[in-house]
Amino acid sequence: MSLPRFYPIFDSADWIARALPLGVRLVQLRIKDRPDDALRIEIARARDLCRRRGAILVVNDHWRLAIELGCDFLHLGQEDLDGADLPAIRAAGLRLGVSTHDTAELDRALACKPDYVALGPVWPTILKPMKWHQQGVEKLTEWKARIGGIPLCAIGGLTPDRARLAFAAGADLVAAVTDITLNPDPSARIREWLETAP
């Protein structure tokens, strides 16, 4: 299964609405600490935006709402896996991506038969505090050897220049968050990403 190579992650449907007309075809909606009603509205809007553009929406964490709203793809971190009902997720037809940081987490992820595996942070990240400082591109090569045909996503501290290194090391797709959202010209940066990861 192949996925688009550029995978931006946003915290609102507004960001997704900005990105899709530029050519983004795979996007994650990652919203933390919002009430269910607000989440439902954002996820439904993002779902509809992506469907109109023929793009893939990945919902981070909120698996019950993803099922309820008929979404197609879910991303779970290791902590999210603890409370997730994987049989219900699979019965709903949701594809699944899983975050990993070390070999134990990779083994756990592979047991879920994921549709992609994410490794991070490949470079230091400012997005959130993590006990893993920097995995390095060498670990991408190691992970790819272990997971074979499952798509590998590099995340954490990515820029377009670093994305080239990640691809060379074995990543199939690259995720970006703050490199876009904190950029003074996010639209131009998205276009640069799309040229780097067509």
Q: Is 128 a catalytic residue?
A: yes
Question: Annotated catalytic residue: which of 5, 30, 95, 144?
Answer: 30
Active-site residue 32, yes or no? no
Tell me which residue of 85, 80, 148 sits closest to 117, measured CA to CA: 148
The torsion angles phi and psi of 125, rounded to 5 degrees, stand at -125, 150
Write out the two tokens for 83: 């409370």
Q: Within 10 A of 183 (CB to CB), how many other CB atoms are there?
A: 14
Q: Is the dihedral of CA 9, 14, 15, 20 positive or negative?
A: positive
131 among known catalytic residues: no
C-beta of residue 175 within 8 angstroms of C-beta of residue 154: yes
Catalytic residue of the set 2, 52, 128, 131: 128
Which position among 99, 139, 162, 189 bears the catalytic label? 99
List of residues 6+ apart from 75 with CB closer than 8 A = 28, 30, 58, 59, 60, 61, 96, 97, 98, 99, 118
Contact 26, 3 (CB under 8 A): yes
Supply the residues annotated as catalytic.
30, 99, 128
